[in-house]
Amino acid sequence: MLSSYRSLPKQALLGVVFVGVVLSSNWKSGLLAQKFEANYDEAKVPQYELPVLIDAKTAAAKDFASAWELRRTELMDIFAKQMYGTSPTSAYELKFEKIESANCCSGLGLRQQWRVWISTQHGQLPIDLLVFTPSNANGPVPCFLGLNFGGNHTITTDKEIPLTTSWIRENKVNGVSNNNQASESGRGAATSRWPIEQILAEGMGVATAYYGDIDPDFDDEFTNGVHALFPEHRPSAEHPDRWGSIAAWSWGLSRLLDCMSMQIKEVDAARVAVIGHSRLGKTALWAGATDRRFALVISNDSGCGGAALSRRAIGETVGRINTSFPHWFCPNFKQYNLNENSLPIDQHQLLAAVAPRPIYVASASQDLWADPHGEFLSLSLAAEVYQRFPTAKSGSSDAPVMRLGYHLRDGKHDINAWDWSHYLRFMKQL
Ligand code: GTR
């Protein structure tokens, strides 16, 4: 089955010119050439002043929701142009191809595989979407959507899921390289991160795609993956505010949501939560902030560039992340290397941009690299905006309203069934 959808060319942003520091042509050179030593000591957190979340004009407004809308637009524009990069506004076409639909999980679920084709005049890109929904559902169900790190074949042992043919990270077994190709040895390798049966048993669905289908995770100067479909929007020294890989992955999540809302009748598109772990947690946050169709947003151990406050510079810092992963953010973000205090934004403002939709931030006690306390602080600060929205029950269930969720799991940087049990409970409010 093949269905298609043509996007309207989106209106270009009008009249907003962001005045920033113009980067010199060596923006990619090693600004942090000296050895990096992470700080894990609260006493050594530099003095910082956070940018204001609700400015005086917004605070004084009679109608907070309308005033916040303007303030939010202002903040999101800065996040886009200084950190994640703007997404392209030119037209593209979407096609949805149904690959498979089958019973799975010992009769507990329905498994669907779809191929989402994105095309422009410059080429086409397939993204493989894997969706599980409970087989005993009476109607469309709430559903989690998140990208995975290794290919759809890694999240379950189901043999019907083909190995990804996209580029995967190099892995050496007994000194032998995988040549960036998936193999059977990876099948089911990430099942602990995707407790499908636990989710189905709660009457919910879960959908995923491989992030490398959208943009391979290495620095190729933004020429492959979805960047290749929009060469006119390629980041460069002249255009340092254009999308990096996190923004590209997030944009891909929105296209997957397009497919779910237009094609997958088992899913209630008004109750889709975007979720992600680590770099894909940063991605989930940016997707959830930019695309308000996501009804709920979950960040699992997203750390620097995700939920953690940049100014604390605990664990991973802006300079470090831009050096290790020069392609994740837009080139403009590099001007804040070792210079967090001059950032016009910080991450509490990104979390607040999700308001009044529910948001959940989770940390792990041993994941100091991601600064658990900085993640918690940032969520607490975002509450200032949530407090100003009236508390209302959205769904028909008797689940409690929990607009802000946080947990600190004991243990390492990871996402597991214990984390999911909390997300499932939080999700019930939809
Ligand atoms: C680390 C990176 C983190 C986090 C993590 C991951 O190397 O420093 O920001 O994103 O990778 O995605 O697993």
Q: For residue 119, count other CB atoms closer than 10 A to its CB.
A: 16
Mutate to test the pocket of ligand 1, among 219, 279, 371 (most ligand atoms within 8 A of CB): 279
* Per-residue confidence in pLDDT tens, the chain, 430 aa: 555 555 544 433 322 222 233 333 334 444 445 689 999 999 999 999 999 999 999 999 999 999 999 999 999 999 999 999 999 999 999 999 999 999 999 999 999 999 999 999 999 999 999 999 999 999 999 999 999 999 999 999 999 999 999 999 999 988 999 999 999 999 999 999 999 999 999 999 999 999 999 999 999 999 999 999 999 999 999 999 999 999 999 999 999 999 999 999 999 999 999 999 999 999 999 999 999 999 999 999 999 999 999 999 999 999 999 999 999 999 999 999 999 999 999 999 999 999 999 999 999 999 999 999 999 999 999 999 999 998 877 666 677 788 999 999 999 999 999 999 999 999 999 9
Cβ partners under 8 Å of residue 102, min gap 6: 110, 111, 160
Q: Are 120 and 182 in contact (CB under 8 A)?
A: no
- Does residue 407 carry a catalytic annotation? no
Q: What local confidence, expressed as pLDDT, does residue 400 receive?
A: 74
Q: Which residues fall within 8 angstroms of residue 405, CB to CB, at 6 or more apart?
A: 358, 359, 360, 361, 362, 422, 426
- Residue among 358, 374, 349, 367 at smallest CA distance from 422: 358
Between the two ends of the chain, the Cα-to-Cα distance in Å is: 31
Count of residues in the chain: 430
Q: What is the pLDDT of residue 69?
A: 98
Task: Report d(CA 119, CA 259) in Å as an integer.
Answer: 14
How far apart are alpha carbons 339 and 359 in whole angstroms? 29
In ligand 1, the atom with minimum distance to the C-alpha of 304 is: 9
Collect all residues with Cβ–Cβ distance below 8 Å to 41 and sequence separation of at least 6: none
Distance between CA atoms of 12 and 15, rounded to whole angstroms? 9
Token pair 């929007």: residue: 233
Q: Which atom of ligand 1 is nearest to the CA of 282?
A: 10
Residue 390 burial (CB count, 10 A): 7
| List 278, 302, 310, 378, catalytic entry | 278
Q: Assign 115 to helix, strand or coil.
A: strand
pLDDT score at 5: 56
| Sole residue written with tokens 């664990």 | 315
**Omega before residue 46 within 30° of 0, cis:** no
278 is annotated as an active-site residue = yes
Sign of CA dihedral 299, 304, 310, 315: positive
DSSP, residue by residue, 254-293: HHHHHHHHHH-TTEEEEEEEEEEETHHHHHHHHHHHH-TT
- Integer CA distances (angstroms), 324 to 28, 217, 347, in order: 11, 12, 20
Secondary structure (3-state) at 321: helix
Q: Specify whether the CB–CB gap between 241 and 82 falls below 8 A.
A: yes
Mutation probe of ligand 1 site: the residue of 84, 245, 316, 318 with most atoms within 8 A of C-beta: 316
User: In angstroms, what is the span from residue 305 Cα to ligand 1's centroid?
Assistant: 10
Q: Nearest Cα to 251, choosing from 288, 304, 221, 296? A: 288
Task: Name every protein residue with a CB atom under 6 angstroms from any ligand 1 atom.
Answer: 278-279, 303-304, 316, 321, 324
